[in-house]
Amino acid sequence: MPPLLRSLLIGLTAGIVLALLAMAARAFTSSPFDMQLALALAILVALMHWWKSGLARRIDEFQTESRKGLQHLGEQMAEAQGLAQLVPYEHPYPLPFGGGWALTADAAALLAREVALNRPRVVVELGSGVSTLLMARMFKEMGTGKVYSLDHDAGWAEHTRRHLVASGVAKWAEVFDAPLARQRFGDKEYDWYTVPDAVRRLEQIDFLIVDGPPAALDPSGMPRYPALPAFAAQLSPQAIVYVDDAKRPQEQAMLERWLEENPGFEGRMHDTVPGTYLLRRKA
C-alpha cells in the first residue's frame, strides 16, 4: 500500500476512535470533547505517521547506500592489495585484472600463491585470459609446468594466444578452441566444452581452474558443473580444483553437489571479491 494512503488510513482510524470516544464521553459526562477536536487529532496523527514513515524510509535508504559503499570500498582495497601482491610476477605490460571477465587481482594473487606453493606440472584451465598469462609467466620463471586452457570462443582463444606470444611465454601455455556442445553429465544435459584429445590424454592433472563457460551460455542453471565429473578421473592425487566466482548462487549449488557426489573431496572458501573455492582430496 502506498505510504501516503497508509498514513491517511491510520489517521482516519484514529479519527473514528476519537469520535467514538467523544460520543461516549458526551453520553456519560458533560465532557467538552467534540468532533472538531477528534478531526484535528486525526489529521495530526496522519501527518505524524506520514512524517515518521518518510523518515524511516530515508534512514533505510541511507543504510543500504552506506552498506553498498562500504562493500565497494572493501572490494577496491582487496583488489589493490591483490595488485600489490602480484608485483613479483611483473608482466612486460599491464594486464587487465578485475576487468569484469578476468580474475580479480585478489583471486589472481591467491592463484599465484597456490601455484608457487604446489608447483603443479599440468594445469587445465576452463576459460582463458589473464589467468593463463599469469601462470605461463610463473612457469617460465620456475622452469616447469604447463597450462592447457580451453576456450569456447575462438576469437578470445586467439586473443589469449597473441598475448602469450607478446609476453614471451607461449611455450608455457596452450590455448585450445573448445566449442560448447550439448552433453549429458549424470541426469542432466549441459552446453559444455568439447574437450580436445590432447587434454583428454593428460594423465595427471595437478591443478584444474574452473572459470568458464560464462553462465549466460548454459540454461542448465549450473553451467560449470561438468568440470569435476569430466576431469575427476584424470586428477592427480594431490590435485587442486580452483573455482572462481564461488560466491554466486549457481557455483554454491554446484559445489554443494560436487561435495555430495564426491565424498573423498573437501574444500575451503577464500574470501576474495568473487569468492574462490579450493577443492582437494581428503588427506
Ligand X SMILES: C[S@@+](CC[C@H](N)C(=O)[O-])C[C@H]1O[C@@H](n2cnc3c(N)ncnc32)[C@H](O)[C@@H]1O
**Residue 147 bridge partners (DSSP):** 123, 173
Of 109, 119, 118, the C-alpha closest to 89 is 109
Cell numbers placing 124: 587445465
Q: Which amino acid is at 52?
A: K
> Which range binds ligand X by CB under 6 A, 37-45, 112-120, 148-156, 176-184?
148-156
> Which range binds ligand X by CB under 6 A, 30-38, 85-93, 101-109, 247-255?
101-109
Query: Interaction with ligand X in 163-222: which residues (CB under 6 A)?
Result: 211-212, 214
In the complex with ligand X, the residue whose CB is nearer, 53 or 252, is 252
Shortest distance in whole angstroms from residue 7 CB to ligand X: 49
Which residue is listed with cell 612457469? 139
> Which range binds ligand X by CB under 6 A, 69-77, 80-88, 149-157, 232-240?
149-157
In the complex with ligand X, the residue whose CB is nearer, 176 or 258, is 176
Query: Interaction with ligand X in 45-74: which residues (CB under 6 A)?
Result: none
Residue choice 79, 153, 174, 206 for contact with ligand X (CB under 6 A):
153
Does 91 participate in binding ligand X (rule CB under 6 A)?
A: no
Residue choice 43, 156, 269, 270 for contact with ligand X (CB under 6 A):
156
Residue nearest to ligand X (CB): 129
Distance CA 240, CA 258 (A): 14
Residue 248 to residues 21, 211, 219, 254, Cα–Cα distance (Å)? 57, 12, 16, 10
Interface size with ligand X, residues (CB under 6 A): 15
> Which range binds ligand X by CB under 6 A, 6-14, 81-89, 124-132, 249-257?
124-132
Shortest distance in whole angstroms from residue 261 CB to ligand X: 24
Q: Could you list the residues that contact ligand X (CB under 6 A)?
A: 101-103, 127-131, 151-153, 156, 211-212, 214
